[in-house]
């Protein structure tokens, strides 16, 4: 299972809405005879890739897989059928499939006479697909709200400028985090004021080959020549002010992880709706004294009602401090 977990964690995969999955096939004498991992929606599932690698040696084999084998036809066929056709007689999996559409594989295999064991290193498998699992259980994308603020809690100066609050090191770090998501999200006013690109770029400011969707939320019309609508990545207008509606639409587009980059108005709307699942704040050692608050009104009027973060990481990034936590 540790080998299967390593395969699942292969960097750069999967591309698209699917989880990371790895599989090792052990032949009748217990030696590995094939292995595989999932590369992204529409490509072979890990079990099918491992079976292809094992060939005839899959007959009588044990499949060790990080996620319960799927039992549905999506873009590809059910792994339960592929395992049985290949003659696999035992299946050991880590995490039960939280995807309602694809679950039931363990039960189906057991009913067909396959020896099935679940839950082996389940926590490690879950950790690998933390965001995807959350999204599947809630049937909506996981939301990370990231913002950069001065020490006195400002995200822009009074004239609207915010380039830059955080240091180059922090901004490189942000691009690393952007790359982990499948959707960038900002409000219409950030597009109007900042004209952001919202792409994922490397340390030399070059766009990476795979880009998240760039979503802009709000009702107003925006000029077509804003950079967020250029051809560097896909763009989407979410013509709503309702965070639930926006996430539902993104879910329809098979989005699992939204990276909300502001501004303060949109961020407040998501916080008030209880739809921020992770906060990443970069605190820059700068003072503005006036300007835009890092987040707009949250309806909190007294200290005991302050929203508190359960902090799981505090790191120094260049001259800034990065705080990560859950509300
Ligand atoms: N330091 C940082 O990390 C960041 C700083 N900034 C700075 O923040 C400023 C822009 O922030 P801000 O003005 O708050 O803009 P936002 O990007 O939050 O956009 C606000 C607009 O979004 C639309 N909207 C969508 N959903 C809602 C909702 N639920 N409630 C209210 N409005 C909604 C409204 O416009 P509509 O009429 O179209 O519906 C609203 O005017 C700029 O100065 C920018 O530089 C921005 C991002 C990050
Ligand atoms: N000002 C500010 C941030 N602002 C966010 O980054 C967007 C610009 O993205 P791009 O055009 O792709 O570089 C901007 O519109 C806003 O959403 N981010 C930060 O890490 N640090 C900062 O100081």
pLDDT above 90: residue 12: no
Q: What is the number of other CB atoms lying within 10 angstroms of the CB of residue 292?
A: 21
> What atom of ligand 2 comes closest to residue 171's alpha carbon?
20
Separation of CA 14 from chain center: 11
Q: How confident is the model at residue 15 (pLDDT cuts 50, 70, 90)?
A: confident
Sheet holding 142-150, edge to edge: 235-238, 213-217, 183-187, 257-260, 142-150, 278-284, 320-326, 310-317
Q: What is the pLDDT of residue 14?
A: 83
Q: Distance (Å, rounded) from C-alpha 98 to C-alpha 280? A: 26
Taking CA atoms only, the protein residue closest to ligand 2 atom 16 is 261
Token representation of residue 221: 């019309």
Instruction: Give the helix, strand, coil percentages of the chain, each rounded to 5.
Output: 30, 25, 45
**Cβ of 187 below 6 Å from ligand 1:** yes
- CA–CA distance, 279 with 239 (Å, rounded to integer): 25
Ligand 1 atom at minimum distance from 270 CA: 29
pLDDT single digits (tens) 171-222: 999 999 999 999 999 999 999 999 999 999 999 999 999 999 999 999 999 9
Q: What band does 116 get if pLDDT is binned at 50, 70 and 90?
A: very high
Query: Is 201 annotated for ligand binding?
Result: yes
**pLDDT band, very low/low/confident/very high, at 305 (cuts 50, 70, 90):** very high
Query: Nearest-CA neighbor of 80 among 71, 68, 89, 88?
Result: 71
Q: For the chain, what are the domain ranges?
A: 2-136, 140-326
Separation of first and last alpha carbons in the chain? 34
pLDDT of residue 16: 86
Indicate whether residue 166 lines ligand 1 (CB < 6 A): no
133, 95 Cβ separation under 8 angstroms: yes
Distance, CA of 43 to CA of 209 (rounded, Å): 19
Cis-peptide into 88, omega within 30 deg: no
> 140-326 belongs to which CATH class?
alpha beta
What pLDDT is stored for residue 74 in this prediction?
86
Kindly state if the Cβ of 170 falls inside 6 Å of ligand 1.
no
pLDDT at 100 (0 to 100): 83
Residues forming the active site: 47
Instruction: Of 77-91, 94-108, 247-261, give the lowest mean pLDDT range.
Output: 94-108
Scored b (16 or more CB within 10 A) or e, 153-166 reads ebbbbeeeebeebb
Q: At what angle do helices 46-54 and 79-86 cross, to 10 degrees?
A: 20
**Does any ligand 2 atom lie closer than 6 A to the CB of residue 196?**
yes
Structure tokens at 101: 């559409």
> Which atom of ligand 2 has the smallest separation from the CA of 163?
1
Q: Which residues lie across from 216 on neighbouring strands?
A: 186, 237
Banded pLDDT at 102 (limits 50, 70, 90): confident
Ligand-binding site membership of 268 (annotated)? yes
CATH of 2-136, one of 3.40.50.720, 3.40.50.20, 1.10.10.10, 3.40.140.10: 3.40.140.10
- Confidence band, pLDDT 50/70/90 cuts, at residue 28: very high
How far lies 71's CA from each of 16, 100, 109, 234, 253, in Å? 20, 10, 9, 32, 22
- The mean of the pLDDT values for the chain is 96
Distance 249 CA to ligand 2 centre (A): 24
pLDDT in tens, 278-291: 999 999 999 999 99
Summarize pLDDT for 225-235 with one digit per residue, the tens.
999 999 999 99
Q: Is the CB of 62 under 6 A from ligand 2?
A: no
What is the percent of the chain with per-residue pLDDT over 70, rounded to a whole number? 100
Q: What is the whole-number distance in angstroms between the Cα of residue 147 and the centre of ligand 2?
A: 8
Cβ–ligand 1 distance for 275 under 6 Å, the answer no
Q: What is the pLDDT of residues 129-171, one digit of tens each?
A: 999 999 999 999 999 999 999 999 999 999 999 999 999 999 9
The answer, yes or no, to whether residue 13 has pLDDT greater than 90, is no
How confident is the model at residue 101, as a pLDDT?
A: 83
What's the predicted TM-score (pTM) here? 0.95
Strand 257-260 to 183-187 pairing? parallel
Section 263-290 average pLDDT: 98
Q: CB 96: neighbour CB atoms within 10 A?
A: 17
Q: Ligand 2: which residue has its CA nearest to atom 21? A: 166
Asked whether 148 lines ligand 2 (CB < 6 A), one says yes
Burial class of residue 301, CB neighbours in 10 A (0-12, 13-18, 19+): exposed
CB atoms within 10 A of CB 187: 23
- Best residue among 162, 294, 323 to mutate for probing ligand 2's pocket (most ligand atoms within 8 Å of CB) is 162
Q: What is the pLDDT averaged over residues 53-67?
A: 97
Rounded distance between C-alpha atoms, residue 207 and residue 202, angstroms:
6
How many angstroms separate the CA atoms of 83 and 235, rounded? 39
Q: Output the residue whose Cα is nearest ligand 2's atom 7.
A: 196
């Amino acid at each position: 299972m540790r080998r299967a977990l390593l395969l699942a964690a292969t960097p750069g995969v999967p591309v698209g809405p699917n989880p990371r999955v790895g599989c090792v096939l052990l032949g009748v004498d217990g030696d590995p005879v094939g292995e595989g991992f999932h590369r992204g929606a529409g490509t072979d599932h890990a079990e099918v890739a491992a079976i292809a690698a094992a060939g005839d040696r899959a007959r009588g084999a044990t499949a060790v897989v990080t996620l319960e084998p799927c039992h549905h036809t999506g873009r590809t066929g059910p792994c339960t059928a592929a395992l049985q056709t290949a003659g696999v007689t035992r299946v050991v999996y880590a995490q039960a499939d939280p995807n309602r559409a694809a679950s039931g594989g363990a039960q189906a295999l057991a009913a067909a006479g396959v020896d099935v064991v679940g839950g082996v290193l389940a926590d490690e498998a879950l950790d690998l697909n933390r965001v995807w699992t959350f999204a599947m259980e809630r049937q909506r994308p996981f939301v990370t709200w990231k913002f950069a603020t001065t020490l006195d809690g400002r995200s822009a100066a009074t004239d609207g400028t915010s380039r830059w609050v955080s240091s180059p090191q922090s901004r490189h770090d942000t691009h690393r985090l952007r790359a982990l998501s499948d959707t960038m999200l900002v409000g219409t006013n950030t597009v109007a004021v900042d004209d952001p690109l919202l792409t994922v770029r490397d340390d030399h400011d070059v766009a990476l080959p795979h880009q998240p969707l760039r979503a802009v939320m709000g009702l107003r019309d925006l000029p077509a020549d804003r950079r967020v609508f250029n051809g560097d990545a896909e763009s989407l207008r979410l013509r709503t002010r309702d965070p639930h509606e926006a996430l539902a639409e993104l879910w329809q587009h098979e989005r699992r992880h939204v990276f909300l980059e502001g501004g303060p108005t949109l961020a407040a709307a998501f916080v008030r709706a209880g739809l921020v699942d992770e906060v990443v704040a970069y605190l820059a050692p700068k003072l503005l004294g006036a300007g835009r608050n890092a987040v707009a009104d949250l309806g909190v009027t007294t200290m005991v009602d302050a929203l508190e973060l359960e902090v799981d990481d505090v790191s120094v990034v260049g001259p800034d401090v990065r705080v990560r936590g859950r509300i």
